[in-house]
Amino acid sequence: MTPLKLSIASTDYDHFRDFRTGAVRAEGIDHTWSMLSHHEVFARFTANREWDVAELSFAKFSAQITRDDCDIVGLPVVCSRLFRFSSFYVNKNAGIKTVEDLKGKRVGSPEWAHSAAVYMRGWMHNDCGVKLPDVHWYQAGANAPGRVEKVELTLPKGVEITRISDRSLSEMLASGEIDCAIIARPPTCFLEGNPDIVRLFPNYLEMEEEYFERTRVWPIMHIISMQKHIIDENPWVARNLFNAFNESKRRSVERMLDPAVSRYPLAWVPAYGEKMKNMFGGDPFPFGIEENRATWEQMLLYTYQQGIAHKHVTPEEIFPKGMMTKVVV
């Protein structure tokens, strides 16, 4: 069989390295891999479908996969996942001490369909009693002006967004124009040591561990998406790609847990890796549907509640049927 040629795009991940370099191969597939910033991949794949397979923010994926004319499908491959309680930055002068204090406040994020903000807005709305219409929402670039929304939205009743094109969230947070920013990358004003800008939750690590123990949700930021016609024409591709991504990740984790040499320029990586392995039930970075069901279901609910997804769907509706086949060796 002549190998199927596929183009793939993602940012630089150690857990994709062996697949990208050819040390791991997807059966029946030859690939050409573009390694770019994740923002560039998101924008170009969303606007132009420039690759066959691409990394995509889960929020933006949810907006596209739920359209009636959807032309993509997902793979249950996790590019990036992080807890986001560290992502609340507040101006101390606003008097915000708890999440409940955000009622009536001005809160910004880089986009409404920004996965980090989607998770935290969903937590506020569903767990904390701070409903979406209770906040004055702002949208602007994180540390530079000019960022725009990349997907079509249908905002919930009572929710309004003030979009700012000539100033960044960092500038507005420092000046007091907004009271809080929910942002994946720390704002410049925080990194530069502005004494007025602090994290709302300095104990975020403890919060995140407790949250996982209680919910079994480990937030997924970015996943692998691909053009649907490829699966329609070659149903075998989904599982073969998944197997290659999964083996590449397994090798990455094996490197991380190896205490014999310093594979990463940080102290105690293997020790922390063992802690995470124990916490997450053996695999510290699981791929798959059932392995992440609570997280898939939560994000699909949150994106629907927030007017990003066009309908409320299940994990089975966003992944190829071939991924549902249970393979026991």
Q: Hey, what domains does the chain have and what are their CATH numbers?
A: 4-81+219-324 (3.40.190.10), 85-215 (3.40.190.10)
CB 223 within 8 A of CB 242: no
Helix residue spans in the chain (DSSP H): 14-21, 38-48, 58-65, 115-127, 169-175, 188-191, 204-215, 228-233, 237-257, 269-279, 293-305
Question: Amino acid letter at 71?
Answer: D
- What would the pLDDT profile of 215-225 be if each residue is shown by its tens digit? 999 999 999 99
- What would the pLDDT profile of 241-296 be if each residue is shown by its tens digit? 999 999 999 999 999 999 999 988 989 999 999 998 998 888 999 999 999 999 99
The per-residue pLDDT for 166 is: 96
pTM of the model: 0.94
- What would the pLDDT profile of 25-67 be if each residue is shown by its tens digit? 999 999 999 999 999 999 999 999 999 999 999 999 999 999 9
Q: Please state, for a pLDDT cut of 70, what percent of the chain lies above it.
A: 100
pLDDT band at residue 329 under the 50/70/90 scheme: confident
pLDDT band at residue 322 under the 50/70/90 scheme: confident
CA-to-CA dists, residue 77 to 44, 116, 233, 295, 319, angstroms? 20, 18, 21, 13, 10
The per-residue pLDDT for 324 is: 80
The per-residue pLDDT for 121 is: 98
Q: What is the DSSP letter of 164?
A: -
- How deeply is 15 buried, as exposed, middle or buried, from its count of CB atoms within 10 A (0-12, 13-18, 19+)? buried
Which of 287, 296, 290 shows the shortest CA–CA distance to 241? 287
pLDDT band at residue 174 under the 50/70/90 scheme: very high
| Residue 326 pLDDT > 90 | no
Neighbours of 75 (CB within 10 A): 22
- What would the pLDDT profile of 62-117 be if each residue is shown by its tens digit? 999 999 999 999 999 999 999 999 999 999 999 999 999 999 999 999 999 999 99
The per-residue pLDDT for 327 is: 75
CA-to-CA dists, residue 73 to 7, 58, 224, angstroms? 15, 12, 9
- Sign of torsion, CA 298 301 307 312? positive
C-alpha–C-alpha distance, residues 208 and 45, integer Å: 31
Sole residue written with tokens 């491959």: 77
- Sign of torsion, CA 138 141 145 147? negative
* Range 286-306 burial, b when 16+ CB lie within 10 A, else e: bbbeebbeebbebbbebbbbb
